[in-house]
């Protein structure tokens, strides 16, 4: 059983994420099922990177707290459990939130504000899906970090996607510092993915590699 839950943009996510975990956990326990659950790098506070699977979570947002609650609930119910913490999931479809919000701004004639001081590991959706299926069929239990190979700023990542879609960043991008306008957000969520590197073949591709493969 693979639990992808819902995104941080979904209505009622604070209640829905732990509620779904409780339901899935009880169901899996009853049937003796293996569960692979998708969590987030945002369970960490961004103050002491890099974060390994042994690092202690300290979520700052409601979404991250709900995801950590999901992890705890499932751990209490499911013996054969693997938590996959990942990062920014992107694709090149028009309904991908990582792209659509930027294109909506540009369509409205507005600049896209991108953080220069927030670090994440963007991962291409097809690569993440392949990796999840691979670990789902393994006997690994506990927690594993699987995301893109490179820690990138929101600015670097977003600019690469916009350029790939034909938008000029010099025209449409406004660099901003999250520390100035969103001080509650985690700054650096660099992940230690040593465990995943030792297990996955192939490993998720970098943003430039994904652009070449996906566009």
Q: What is the pLDDT of residues 155-203, one digit of tens each?
A: 999 999 999 999 999 999 999 999 888 889 999 999 999 999 999 999 9
Q: Give the pLDDT score at 59.
A: 97
Looking at domain 2-214, what is its CATH homologous superfamily? Answer: NAD(P)-binding Rossmann-like Domain (3.40.50.720)
Q: Give the pLDDT score at 13.
A: 84
Lookup result for tokens 């790939």: 164
Q: Give the pLDDT score at 22.
A: 96
Q: Taking the model in full, what pTM does it have?
A: 0.95
Q: Identify the segments of the chain with pLDDT beneath 70.
A: 7-10
**Paired sense of beta strands 119-120 and 152-153, if any:** antiparallel
Domain ranges of the chain: 2-214
Lookup result for tokens 């590991």: 121
In angstroms, the CA 47 to CA 188 distance is 7
Backbone φ and ψ for 103, nearest 5 degrees, come out as -65, -35
Compute the half-sphere exposure of residue 191: CA atoms within 13 Å on the CB side of its CA.
29
Give me the torsion for CA of 178, 214, 43, 79, rounded to 10°: 180
């Amino acid at each position: 059983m693979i639990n992808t839950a819902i995104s941080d943009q979904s209505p009622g996510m604070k209640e829905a994420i732990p509620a779904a975990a409780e339901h899935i956990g009880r169901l899996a326990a009853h049937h003796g099922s293996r569960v692979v659950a998708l969590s987030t790098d945002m369970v960490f506070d961004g103050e002491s990177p890099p974060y390994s699977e042994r690092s202690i979570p300290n979520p700052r947002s409601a979404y991250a707290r709900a995801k950590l609650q999901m992890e705890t609930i499932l751990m209490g119910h499911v013996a054969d459990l693997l938590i996959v913490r990942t990062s920014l999931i992107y694709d090149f479809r028009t309904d991908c939130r990582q792209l659509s919000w930027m294109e909506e701004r540009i369509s409205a004639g507005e600049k896209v504000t991108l953080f220069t001081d927030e670090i994440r590991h963007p991962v291409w959706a097809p690569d993440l899906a392949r990796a999840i299926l691979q670990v789902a069929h393994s006997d690994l239990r506990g927690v594993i970090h699987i995301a893109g190979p490179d820690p990138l700023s929101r600015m670097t990542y977003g600019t690469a996607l916009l350029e790939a879609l034909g938008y000029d960043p010099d025209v449409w991008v406004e660099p901003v510092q999250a520390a100035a306008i969103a001080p509650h957000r985690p700054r650096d969520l660099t992940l230690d993915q040593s465990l995943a590197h030792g297990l996955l073949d192939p490993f998720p591709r970098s943003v430039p590699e994904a652009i070449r493969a996906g566009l």
